[in-house]
Structures are given as C-alpha cells and as structure tokens.
Amino acid sequence: MGSSVISAVTNFGRGSGDSGTSTEVSTWSKGDSVRTGLAALLVVGLLFTAYQLSDNEGTGVNAALSLLIGSALGIAFERGRFCFFCIFRDAIEDRDTTPFLSILSAIAVGAIGYAVIFGQFLPDTSSDRLPPNAHIGPVSTALIAAGLAFGIGMALSGACISGHLYRIGQGSLRAYPALFGSLIGFGLGFKSWNTLYSKSISDAPTTWLPHYLGYGGSLVLTLLLLAVIAVVTIRFGKNSTPLANPVATKIDLASLRQSLLINRWRPLTTGAIFGVIGTFAYLRIEPLGVTRQLSTTSRTYFEGQGWIPQNLDGLDLMAGCIAVVSTAIVNNGWLILGIVTASFAAALAGNRFKFQQITWRNALTALVGGMLLGWSSMIALGCTVGVLLSGTQSFALSGWVFFATAFTGAWIGIKLKLHKL
C-alpha cells in the first residue's frame, strides 16, 4: 500500500480535507454555489421528511424529532470534527490538546442541562431509584474490558462509531467495513452477554453520584473534575493549536460563511452545542446514543439465524443503548439517518466531500476494528456518545469509567501504531 494512501486515510481531517482554521476569506466560486444549493436542498429534504414522519401514525413526533436531533448532530459532528478518536489521537500523537476541550465542554454543558431535568424527573434522590431512561450503568470489570476494547477498536478502524457515521457524509469508504464489522461485533456481544452478565455485570454496583451528593453536589464535583482535567490537558498540549481567530475584523456575509461552512468550529462551541443537543434529546426522547439501531439490526438478524440466545439475562433491567428485536426502524434509526445526511450536506457546502481511497488492507483493519467497537458497545450498553457523553452528563460513574478506559485503549492502540497498519 502506498504511503500516500496511508497518509490520506490516517490523516483524514488533518490534511486538505479539512481547512482547519483560516483567517483568510476564500473566494466564492460557481462550484460553491452549486454545492451549497445542493446542501440546502438536502436540509429542506430532511425538514420535509421530519414533517412527513410527524404526521404518520406509525412513526409520530418522536421519529420526526429524532431525525431533527440527528441532523443537528450531523452538522455539529462534521463542522466541529467531533470524532473521539481524532481528538484522542491529536492529543496523544501530536500533543495538540485543543480539540480535547470540546469533550470537556460537552460534558459540562450537558451536565448542567441534565441536572435541571433530573430535578424535575426525580426530585427526591434519597431513594434508590434512578431517573427514567438515563444512561446510568453498572460499573463492572466487563465495562473496563469493553472500554479498553473500544479504544483499541477506534485505533484500528480510525474512528468511533459516531465518527464513522458522520464520515460517511464526508465520503469515507472505510466507514462501511467498519460499521459492517460493528454489526458482527454486536452479535459477538450478544453471544458473550449471558456469561459476562452472570460473572461480572449482575453483581456490579450501579453508582450514581446524586444518591450521595444530590444534584447540586454532583454538578459541582463534575465541573471541578472537568476543570482539573482541562488544566492537565492544556499543560500537556505542547503543540496545541490556538483557539480559532476571528475571520475578519468586521462582520460581513463572506466572513460569516467562512466561519460557518469552511473553518472548523471552535472546540468549546462545538462541545457546548453537543451539551445542548444532549439535554434536549433527554428531555424529549432519550439520552443521545448512536448504537441502539445498529445493535437492534444485529440482534434481530442473529436471533433469526439462531446464533445468539433468545434470552439476554437482565438486559431489560439495564439503562443504555439497549437493542430490542424489531424489524421496524426505531427512533435511533432516524437519528442516524439525520447524522449521515446532514453531515453530507455540511461537507458539501464546505467543499470537503471527497471519496477516500480504500485498500484491502485498510478495509480489513476497519472491519476488525469495527468488530471490537460493536462488541464493546454491546457490553458497555453504548459507545463514546451513549456511555461516555450521556453517562458522564447523567452523573453516572459508568460514564467516567468508560471515558478513562476508552482513552487508555486508544492510547495503547496508538502506541502500538495500530492506526498506521
């Protein structure tokens, strides 16, 4: 495999495909008009589809809202390059820790939003009840193993699951074998679930901070912890890029377009947008997650084949991106459709859509990495979005454990140069 291809694949998002930040306003060409027009059409199409869904008996308002939430996510993922693996890799490999701040800002803003909603959903934290649907999971050795495997899977396949989803919109071809691998991985997860459940997960504590500290104390502790991580991160970042400079000294349409469509969004802003979307998603439907539809598809298929047990012990009692057996599209399916389509629209408008080269070799690493991502998302009941973000925002210890272990796994993967295979 040629080295140019390697760099095109592994440096995706750092090279020509992503303009990063520019203080120069690029000129508007005829091609830009066409691409932006197409992107606008896609957005109109999404809005129209949402309208149709909301009117449809079978799907209803929640499906429509899921599509719109997914669309907002797709734009934010693409414009903020909010891909956990890229963010971890920038920090570990290049010691550029600026992008890492977007994760911290997403958790901080989301935690504030969740605290407000929790206060109404479950005013009394003294009982052993948990707020409905929030992604608060058991903290077990299986979760630690899943986090590490997820990190390694990210390194092998080049992105996390949400990263692969939004990169489909940017023209990534490796995302396909990676996501296909994740479907197989979910199947392996279902196959190993009952054993892991009885050996590790069933006895594990489901630790939720507000049971001990209330909402105020949990929020203060979370923000303090984020502040400490931010300080350590900024000190570690020897080669960090500065937070983006303004494009122009005065506002005009060209500079606005440059900021919105061309330049990468600032990390703190991107994170805050994720925090806000996460809050809205929890208020109206369910916490953010991107694996429920994938795992549902996998479970339905494998159960039909008789390869996985029909009874997955205790799964119904858990909270997270839980797969059901269903041939219909669940709300999460509409969310994913929104991510991919809106990311494509955003990439088009900024002229970042480009088919990435794919070789047998990098397709295979994507497939194997995807299998690891799928297995660990099943065992952890979610991925970097469903457990890491939604979990930490919910004050769940499980979210923090997954954060630490997925980061460690990515670190190991990068040190072993798995992302350069």
Looking at the Cβ atoms of 261 and 312, the one nearer to other proteins is 312
Distances (CA, A) of 56 to 59, 231, 293, 323: 6, 49, 20, 24
CB of 216 to other proteins, least distance (A): 19
Looking at the Cβ atoms of 133 and 408, the one nearer to other proteins is 133
> What is the rounded CA–CA span in Å between residue 157 and residue 369?
5
CB of 193 to other proteins, least distance (A): 15
CB of 284 to other proteins, least distance (A): 7
Looking at the Cβ atoms of 100 and 282, the one nearer to other proteins is 282
How would you class 77 by CB atoms within 10 Å of its CB: exposed for 0-12, middle for 13-18, buried for 19 or more?
buried
CB of 280 to other proteins, least distance (A): 12
Mention every residue, 6+ apart, whose C-beta is less than 8 A from residue 190.
298, 299, 302, 308, 309, 312, 323, 378
CA-based nearest residue to 66, from 332, 408, 400: 332
CB of 110 to other proteins, least distance (A): 17
CB of 278 to other proteins, least distance (A): 15
CB of 194 to other proteins, least distance (A): 13
Looking at the Cβ atoms of 211 and 354, the one nearer to other proteins is 211
Mention every residue, 6+ apart, whose C-beta is less than 8 A from residue 324.
296, 299, 330
Looking at the Cβ atoms of 170 and 390, the one nearer to other proteins is 390
> What is the rounded CA–CA span in Å between residue 74 and residue 68?
10
CB of 130 to other proteins, least distance (A): 10
Looking at the Cβ atoms of 12 and 114, the one nearer to other proteins is 114
Looking at the Cβ atoms of 90 and 286, the one nearer to other proteins is 286
3-state SS track over 69-80:
HHHHHHHHHHHH
Looking at the Cβ atoms of 57 and 238, the one nearer to other proteins is 57
Looking at the Cβ atoms of 119 and 217, the one nearer to other proteins is 119
- Looking at residue 195, its amino acid is T
Secondary structure (DSSP) of 200-268 = IITTS---BTHHHHHHHHHHHHHHHHHHHHHHHHHHH-TTPPPSPPPS-SS--HHHHHIIIIISPPPHH
Distances (CA, A) of 204 to 137, 197, 209, 309, 403: 9, 9, 16, 22, 18
Which chain residues interact with other proteins by CB under 8 A?
Answer: 120-123, 131-133, 283-284, 286, 311
CB of 141 to other proteins, least distance (A): 26
The first and second tokens of residue 4, run together, are 């140019």
The first and second tokens of residue 100, run together, are 């890492």
Distances (CA, A) of 328 to 59, 145, 180, 222, 297: 10, 32, 19, 38, 9
Q: Which H or E run includes 401?
A: helix 397-415
> What is the rounded CA–CA span in Å between residue 124 and residue 118?
10
